[in-house]
């Protein structure tokens, strides 16, 4: 398991496929703040709630200068189904080999129903305009997470 990122660290660069198979890089967002969130699996209840919360608040976040990218180990085809079914507007990226998840410390051992398992650690990172980590949040809750981010970043709805 890789080390966890800390505020001030350079956010690991990445280029991944989106739901349509197009390549998206963190570098594409240079000059804007980016919220990068990692979630375990598309089309599951918690991940759906989280993605819908981000979609519902996308205009508010964009107005405050933030882009939003969701990353999971799902393949692009599954992300496309997820986007269509839930009418998602956030950019969803596929990391099936878990390279980026690992670089961000968002894949490894975690507790699930009292057992230690290896998997995706639901995590969110706020990356500044220069590619530095502003906030690194691990083991976040799917429900209420976006509201907490808005509050922490002093963004009013």
pLDDT of residue 156: 82
- The answer on pLDDT for 31 being more than 90 is yes
- The answer on pLDDT for 2 being more than 60 is no
- Within a 10 A sphere around the Cβ of 32, how many other Cβ atoms? 13
Q: Quote the percentage of the chain above a pLDDT of 70.
A: 99
pLDDT of residue 157: 73
Tokens representing residue 122 in the block: 């639901």
- The answer on pLDDT for 46 being more than 70 is yes
Read off the pLDDT band of 112 (50, 70, 90).
confident
Q: Please give the helix or strand (H or E) that residue 141 lies within, else none.
A: none
CA 69, CA 38: separation in Å to the nearest integer? 9
For the chain, domain boundaries: 15-152
Q: Which position among 5, 47, 58, 93 bears the catalytic label?
A: 47
Tokens representing residue 108 in the block: 């490894």
Mean pLDDT of the chain: 94
pTM of the model: 0.94
CB 14 within 8 A of CB 70: no
What class, spelled out in words, does domain 15-152 have in CATH? Answer: alpha beta
pLDDT of residue 1: 43
- The answer on pLDDT for 139 being more than 60 is yes
pLDDT in tens, 87-101: 999 999 999 999 999
Active site residue 47: yes
Read off the pLDDT band of 41 (50, 70, 90).
very high
């Amino acid at each position: 398991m890789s080390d966890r990122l800390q505020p001030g660290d350079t956010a690991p660069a990445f280029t991944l496929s989106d739901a349509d198979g197009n390549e998206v890089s963190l570098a594409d967002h240079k000059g804007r703040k980016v919220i990068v969130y990692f979630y375990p699996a598309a089309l599951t209840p918690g991940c759906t709630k989280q993605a819908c919360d981000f979609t519902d608040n996308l205009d508010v976040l964009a107005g405050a200068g933030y882009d939003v990218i969701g990353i999971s180990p799902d393949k692009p085809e599954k992300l496309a189904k997820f986007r269509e079914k839930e009418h998602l507007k956030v950019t969803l990226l596929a990391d099936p080999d878990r390279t980026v998840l690992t670089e961000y410390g968002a894949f490894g051992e975690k507790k699930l129903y009292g057992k230690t398992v290896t998997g995706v650690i639901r995590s969110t990172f706020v990356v500044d305009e220069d590619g530095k980590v502003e906030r690194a949040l691990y083991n976040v809750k799917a429900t209420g997470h976006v509201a907490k981010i808005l509050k922490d970043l002093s963004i009013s709805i």
